[in-house]
Amino acid sequence: MQLTINKSRLMKRLSELARIGAFSDGGVCRLALTDEDKAARDQVMQWMKDLHLQTHIDQVGNLIGVRPGAKDIAPIVIGSHIDTVPTGGRFDGAAGVMAGLEAIESLNEYKIQTERPVAVVTFTNEEGVRYHNDLLGSRAFCGYISPEEAYKTVGTDHTIFGEELKRIGFAGEFPSGSIRPHAFLELHIEQGPVLDREQVSIGVVEAITGIAWYEITIQGEANHAGTTPISMRQDAGLTAARIITYLREIANSLGENQRATCGAISFYPNAINVIPEKATLSIDLRNPDKTTLEEAEQRLLDFLEKCTIQDNVQIETQRLAWVEPRACHTDIISTIIEATNELGYSHKTMVSGAVHDALTMASYCPTGMIFVPSKGGVSHNPAEYTSADELEAGANVLLKTVLKLSQQKM
Ligand code: GLV
Ligand code: MN
Ligand code: MN
């Protein structure tokens, strides 16, 4: 008998979750540790309890639901996130957590006793939008960042991570870093155009991009827009513009996998007739190859130095995040491919240009990722869309992979 998940149950949970923090255009805003995030967490906890899982909230607010195995040995962990970007869609992150719950409900329904425990985890602050310490939950889960360090993180709205975690009631006591999975699996929407364009059902991720985040503060001098001769200006706005343009040069010169983005910028005093005294911009650099990513960073830093001389400004650089690119585990990749073939779905191996909690987990335990198509490759956008059939296929592959891995004794 072929075990399969229940598509309507999966979609029902996904729609219910998407109501929390919903916009009228179908989008979702659930920034980490906001009231919307709290409401979504309450809902996920309730679902975990309904599935009779042993639930834990760890010290950084990761939600963990464990279905015991025949033996009390290292679990198979399925995980993703439910926080979103400010104008997010309903699938990024949520699809993985809902597929995890659905896989577990299917195990319950078929009364399957797995050898290993199977757990589902919702990681805190994957997106890193409100707290730039991105992938925070998964990094704490692996013991790469201590709860104390996480608590000190200051948000873009000047809130403190530790205080907000307490305020929403999710500062748990379960020690972060105390579970080492036998394997970690994350189902996620591709967030790129490849599977949709090629009409392939399943993306099997071979490697996940590395990422470097910077905040750049340019200090010039405010002065009159009309009277200050161009040659006498210390125009922080001009330098910001040069940097943004240079990012595209970095991307164009380092091969097709190099990404470089300025996603946020602010000027001070931000007035029409005042030369900007200060400009603050965010920079996101990515590459699945570590050496090339480092090369991109070095080029950026060299360029900033040139700008300070050319524009007579000062530049302060803060590296907000750096995560090395990682390959997924070859055994897990083959297990996912085997499961996909047995189910009769088409597949393609690919590299992830988005970062995921699986990137953190890949340096901690054998890790695999299952991608499902994103219509038109659109993501971090309310128009993000994956059909019920596509999600069903992904969740079936997840279930089958879990079944295979959870029977492994070694
Ligand atoms: C996460 O969504 C990222 O890739 O920025
Ligand atoms: Mn995501
Ligand atoms: Mn995202």
Q: What is the DSSP letter of 219?
A: E
N residues, the chain: 410
Backbone angles phi, psi at 359, to 5 degrees: -65, -45
Residue 407 has pLDDT above 90, yes or no: no
Q: Which residues contact 186 (CB under 8 A, 6 or more apart)?
A: 78, 79, 80, 96, 356, 357, 358, 361, 367, 368, 369, 370
Distance CA(280)–CA(237), nearest Å, equals 9
* Domains, the chain: 7-209+326-405 (3.40.630.10), 210-323 (3.30.70.360)
Q: Model confidence over 337-356: pLDDT tens digits?
A: 999 999 999 999 999 999 99
**pLDDT at residue 352 in the model:** 97
CA–CA separation, 3 vs 8, rounded Å? 15
Atom of ligand 1 nearest to the CA of 353: 4
Average pLDDT of 368-397?
Answer: 98
pLDDT above 80: residue 389 = yes
Is residue 169 within 8 Å of 157, Cβ to Cβ?
no
Residue pointed to by tokens 């309904």: 50
**Which residues does residue 285 pair with via DSSP β-bridges, in sequence order?**
212, 260
pLDDT category at 1 given cuts 50, 70, 90 is low
Q: How far apart are CA 150 and CA 137, in angstroms?
A: 9
Ligand 1 neighbour 66 (Cβ under 6 A): no
Q: How many CA atoms lie within 13 A of 180 on its CB side?
A: 5
Q: Alpha-carbon distance 279 to 244, whole Å?
A: 12
Could you tell me if the CB of 83 is within 6 A of ligand 1?
A: no
Q: How far is the CA of 31 from the centre of ligand 3 (A)?
A: 11
d(CA 251, CA 330): 29
**Residue 392 beta carbon below 6 angstroms from any ligand 1 atom:** no
Q: Residue 24: what pLDDT? A: 87
Which of 28, 323, 380, when mutated, tests ligand 1's pocket best, judged by the most ligand atoms within 8 Å of its CB? 380
Nearest partner of 348 among 210, 186, 198, 209, judged by Cα: 198
- The 10s digit of each residue's pLDDT in 54-107 is 999 999 999 999 999 999 999 999 999 999 999 999 999 999 999 999 999 999
